[in-house]
Amino acid sequence: MMETPYILSAKGITKTFPGVHALENVDFSLKRGEVHALMGENGAGKSTLIKCLTGVEHPDSGVIEFDGKPVEVHSPMHAQEIGITTVYQEVNLCTNISVAENVMLGHEPKGFLGNISWKKMNEMAAKSLRKLGVDVDVTKPLGNYSVAIQQMVAITRALEFESARVLILDEPTSSLDAHETKELFDVMRKLKSEGIGIVFITHFLDQVYEVTDRITVLRNGKYVGTFDTTSLPRVKLIANMLGRSVSDLDDLSKAKIKTEKKVVGEAVLEAKDLGKTNYLEPTNLCMQKGEVVGLAGLLGSGRTELANLIFGIDTPDSGELLINGKKVTSYSPIDSLNNGIALCPEDRKALGIVGELTIRENIILALQARYGWFKFIPTQKQYEYADKYIKLLGIVTPSPDQLTKNLSGGNQQKVILARWLATNPQVLILDEPTRGIDVGAKTEIQKLVLDLAAEGKSCIFISSELEEVLRCSHRVMVLRDHKLVAEFGEEVDDQTIMHTMAGDL
């Protein structure tokens, strides 16, 4: 029996942005009538590859073929015209207009005089939705319906192009419950049976193994491999996604041994069944003074979500949070600052540094916010803070007045750390603090975490590098699919954690 021909393939795709090698000689192929998972952690290159396939970006080199013929995809509209359609995680529809208008937007049926035939449009939209098992009043505003219905409307709209033969679904289940996800999978299987090729981007391993035929893994902008889903063990998938890094960090091991004796019995932070619907299952966490608790899990497992709930970026709808035994009644970043909690965010460029401000201005930013904008920190005091933390963290700069955007990634990360250390927090949450920086800077930041613990500060340490989590943590908590699934002491090894992340344990 002949193998199903590829409907879409990319060969040797390379894409470079200023200072970033986003894709390097990446291959990808999609068969007609298959569901193909595209997997990888943050920075793996998934989004850039999709943008190249859909004309949002243009590769520097490489070839894209559609139905066996080379093609240059000029724009997203051109991609739709040749048969490649995309439904993004954030549904980009108009909730204030009707379901039918959203489905037919851009190709509404016209009446005799060239005006829109509303009756025909409603009939066509309803018919298209019914093909996917959706039966709703298409004349009502889209905003009247759930996210799940909106997701189906987005898919229906994507398939309205007669040429549609490839459907790219970017994190389509992130806001759906179990029942809604099952209905989406039923639709995906139906489309698959009709010969449509589906690229499925998700971080939920269970879903990958439930609905996909093949898996392609990217890591750090490079192609790792393509595998048949049924023949790839989960732990091997995780190993491929994370990769293995080896470095000589004996000094850190010694530092950890030294700090392990510093953990004090008093609870600083307690989360009791803290959770939020469709965001994070109720989670328990008790942190002691001078303790480093590592959070392990794949991207989308719930690590950042837990950090955001604790810091007040998002508000929980279940459970409670206690700081030094006192219940938190108001959730916001400024409340957290006042309660002695600090968060270094995962994306330092978008959520961390302000590139156009100087190092000094970045360092005092959080402290100034806590004081309030009517209690200005004197300039001399600002320089004292800046000089102190530049020296403490070894920030390489000729002056505190250097623009932060001109620093290396490692030094930018240190500036963010300095900002939060200046607030003298009880609990420091570090979300991927060493991502994208060199080994030397990583070592310094990891050592700093352990030194802070020795001084009695508590730290939540989130990292995709298991060796790093094990090296820096007194305890490791493993999350999967937005829930806490296991907790280990300091004797755990990386293989146990990987099998737990995979759901084998």
Given 242, 266, 283, the domain boundary residue is 242
Whether residues 413 and 502 fall in one domain: no
Is the residue at 1 inside a domain? Answer: no
Same domain, 136 and 264: no
Q: Are both 80 and 204 inside the same structural domain? A: yes
State how far the Cα of 463 lies from the Cα of 461, in Å rounded to an integer.
7
Give 394's DSSP letter.
T
| Domain final position from 424, 446, 479 | 424
| Per-residue model confidence (pLDDT) at position 417 | 82
Q: How far apart are CA 9 and CA 63, in angstroms?
A: 8
The helix/strand/coil state of 380 is helix
For residue 387, give its domain range.
Answer: 350-424
User: Both 100 and 173 in a single domain?
Assistant: yes
Would 345 be classed as within a structural domain? Answer: no
Rounded Cα distance, 13 and 24, in Å: 6
**Same domain, residue pair 417 and 445:** no
**270, 223: one domain:** no
In a domain, 280, yes or no: yes
Same domain, 408 and 371: yes
Q: Please check whether residues 452 and 505 belong to one and the same domain.
A: yes
- Examine residue 265 and state whether it is found in any structural domain, yes or no: yes
Domain count, the chain: 3
Residue 140 sits in a domain of what CATH number?
3.40.50.300
Nearest 5°: the CA angle 95, 98, 103 is: 90
The last residue of one of the domains, among 183, 207, 242, is 242
Q: Provide the token pair at 496.
A: 């146990």
Same domain, 87 and 143: yes
- Asked if residue 300 belongs to a domain, the reply is yes
Its sign, for the CA torsion 48, 434, 345, 200, is positive
Same domain, 313 and 355: no
Residues 359, 438 within the same domain: no
Is 71 a domain residue?
Answer: yes
If you write DSSP's letter for every residue of 244-272 in order, what string do you get?
------HHHHHHHHHHGGG--SSEEEEEE
Q: Does the residue 406 lie in any domain?
A: yes
Q: pLDDT tens track of the chain, all 505 residues?
A: 455 589 999 999 999 887 668 899 999 999 999 999 999 876 688 888 999 999 999 999 999 999 889 999 999 889 988 999 888 766 678 888 898 988 888 778 887 777 888 888 888 889 888 888 888 898 999 888 877 888 888 888 888 776 789 999 988 887 677 788 888 898 899 999 999 999 999 877 888 999 999 999 998 889 999 999 999 988 888 888 877 533 333 444 445 545 554 555 678 999 999 999 988 999 999 999 989 999 998 877 889 899 999 999 999 999 999 999 899 998 988 898 889 898 888 765 666 778 788 989 888 887 888 777 778 888 888 888 888 888 877 787 888 888 888 777 667 878 888 888 888 888 989 888 876 565 566 677 788 888 888 888 899 999 877 878 888 899 999 999 889 999 998 778 878 888 888 887 6
Asked if the structure places residue 102 within a domain, the reply is yes
- Tell me, yes or no, whether 272 and 311 share the same domain: yes
Distant-in-sequence, close-in-space partners of 202: CB < 8 Å, separation ≥ 6: 37, 171, 172, 173, 208, 300
Placement of tokens 């530049």 in the chain: 390
pTM of the model: 0.64
